[in-house]
Amino acid sequence: MRDIRKEFPGVRALDGVTLDVREGVVHALMGENGAGKSTLMKVLSGVHPAGTYGGEILLAGEPCSFGGVVDSERAGIAIIHQELALVPQLSITENVLLGHEVSRFGVVDWGATHTRARELLRRVGLDENPATPVSALGIGAQQLVEIAKALAKRVRLLILDEPTSALNETESQRLLDLLGELREQGVTCILISHKLGEVVSVSDEITILRDGRAIETLTVERDTDGTPSVDEDRIIRGMVGRSLDRRHPEPIGEIGPVRFEVIDWTVDHPTQPGRRVVDGVDLHVRAGEIVGLAGLMGAGRTEFAMSLFGRSYGRHVRGLLLKDGTPLAVPDVTAAVRGGLAYVPEDRKTLGLLLDDDIRHNTTLAGLRHVSRYGVVDQERETVEARRMSERMRVRSHGTAQTVRTLSGGNQQKVVLGKWMFTRPELLILDEPTRGIDVGAKYEIHLLIRRLAAEGTAVLLISSELPEVLGMCDRIHTMCEGRLTGEVPAAEADQETLMKLMTRTGDRP
């Protein structure tokens, strides 16, 4: 890609980027939220068609200009977007092979099509019946379906925009191994990721973008025992312009009395009667305390959090929630918010934001009472408050009137966080709060969480990233198959202990 320039109203997203990717390598693209990574890849794959950007694209030496994704696919380029784009009502097979069904005499041969889908699922390591509707899959499994879908087309260049952000350690590793295999087969991969560890372990080349410009490209050499010539600190310096000597901020403030307590919380699956998804969970969170909930995908952490948050999930939600020792009824979300609960969901696109509304309205949406007088929203005050929150969260935008859909992924995440912080919650439940957030901004968000705790907020932190759980929490619960399987003070915990407790399936201790 030569001297690529791309502007949106009010923003220059790409300011003359030149990117060279050698054939048959894994090339990582890194940079802060809003640096222009996704935009550059949308240019390359025809999502932003020829004519809407400046500069030139050469594929194997040949200039090419794509009028749309169909053109780039024909040239062997496939892109997997940061925000998944599956059709939820359709089955895995239909999603994977949409437009590529196996047919005989013009009629789709469903048997053969399912078989083909099953092969592709095996390749990405997803153990699911191909007839399952995609809506029944978790976000991690959906990511694997996306990859299977790309493999169904004949790809020469596979672009993955933050493919592992929703995956747990095991699944991420499987995906990275898959990239290695694809490289052996001569497929070139461009990988966008904020996870330094995986970038260092899998890439051959790393390009760092900052403010719409390519800052540098590092070549990763590996010596005989596989040690890479580029380490995480080197990348951080390239991205942030300085080293980060600490990855997690120190605890500040005191831990107070028990603020929220949950007793024997049990939840059934919404559609499968009798199937328990959350089973007898007992836990408490003190004022100023950050309690971690660690578990593998499907452990029931999100289901627990959502059922607590005004029964947003599940059937027959039973158990007791106490606030300062008194039972708190949370029959619906309104009651939960009024009771001081806030839940920042993991799936921001469908649950967290009004994508077509602006930053201002999204920020104040759940806390309108803080900007209203006599039941009427004071718009001036709303703008001031939204601007303040936006600055506090360091949202990169061209003002609070910007539509949330047009923000970069990480900045959308910051808006969701800001929205719930704006409700001034007493119990803040965070579900994968820094997914897709760059290292610098992650530190800032961690600092914000610490400050909220220091002000007396009780925090429940759900995260699949064990270093985050270990670095941020005072106490950690592990969850497996709907039950709590262990409780460890963070000071005594390490990744190995947590992993063991997270995979323990026996009876409760």
- Residues of this chain that interact with ligand ATP (CB under 6 A) are 8, 11, 13, 31, 33-39, 82, 396, 406-411, 438
Please say which residue, 43 or 371, places its beta carbon nearer to Mg ion.
43
Place of tokens 């949330």: 404
Stretch that binds Mg ion, among 9-17, 63-71, 404-412, 501-509 (CB under 5 A): 404-412
> Least distance from C-beta 319 to ligand ATP, angstroms?
37
Does residue 409 bind Mg ion (CB under 5 A)?
yes
Residue 310 one-letter amino acid: G
d(CA 163, CA 88): 18
Our measurement of the distance from residue 3's CA atom to the centroid of its chain's CA atoms, rounded to an integer in Å, reads 30
Question: Is the Cβ of residue 362 or residue 408 nearer to ligand ATP in the bound state?
Answer: 408
432 binds, among ligand ATP, Mg ion, none (CB under 5 to 8 A by kind): none
Closest approach, Cβ 235 to ligand ATP, in A, equals 14
398 closest CA partner among 406, 55, 385: 406
Give the nearer residue to ligand ATP in terms of CB position, either 408 or 423. 408
Q: If binding is defined by CB under 5 A, does position 34 make contact with Mg ion?
A: no
Angle between helices 232-240 and 439-454 (to 10 degrees): 80
Q: Which of the listed partners (Mg ion, ligand ATP, none) does 33 bind, with a CB threshold of 5 to 8 Å by partner kind?
A: ligand ATP
Cβ closest to ligand ATP, residue 52 vs residue 495: 52
**Residue 46 interacts with Mg ion (CB under 5 A)?**
no
Return d(Cα 301, Cα 307) in angstroms, integer. 10
- Name the nearest CA neighbour of 446 among 467, 427, 426, 425: 467
Among ligand ATP, Mg ion, none, what binds residue 407 when CB lies within 5 to 8 Å by partner kind?
ligand ATP
How far apart CA 100 and CA 435 sit, in angstroms, is 32
Q: Which C-beta is closer to ligand ATP: that of 39 or that of 72?
A: 39
**Interface pattern 77-106 for Mg ion (x via CB under 5 A):** -----x------------------------
Q: Please, are residues 301 and 343 in contact by the beta-carbon 8 Å criterion?
A: no
Tell the smallest beta-carbon distance from residue 142 to ligand ATP (Å): 18
Count the alpha carbons within 13 Å of 216 in the hemisphere toward its beta carbon: 12
The span from the CA of 223 to the CA of 234, in Å, is 17
What is the distance between the alpha carbons of residues 112 and 250, in angstroms, rounded to a whole number? 57
For position 193 contacting Mg ion by CB under 5 A, the verdict is: no
Q: Which is nearer to ligand ATP, 7 or 109 (CB)?
A: 7
Question: Residue 134 CB, nearest distance to ligand ATP (Å)?
Answer: 23
Please list the residues that pair with 430 across neighbouring strands: 344, 461
Helix, strand, coil percentages for the chain (3-state, nearest 5): 35, 25, 40
Q: Which is nearer to ligand ATP, 126 or 404 (CB)?
A: 404
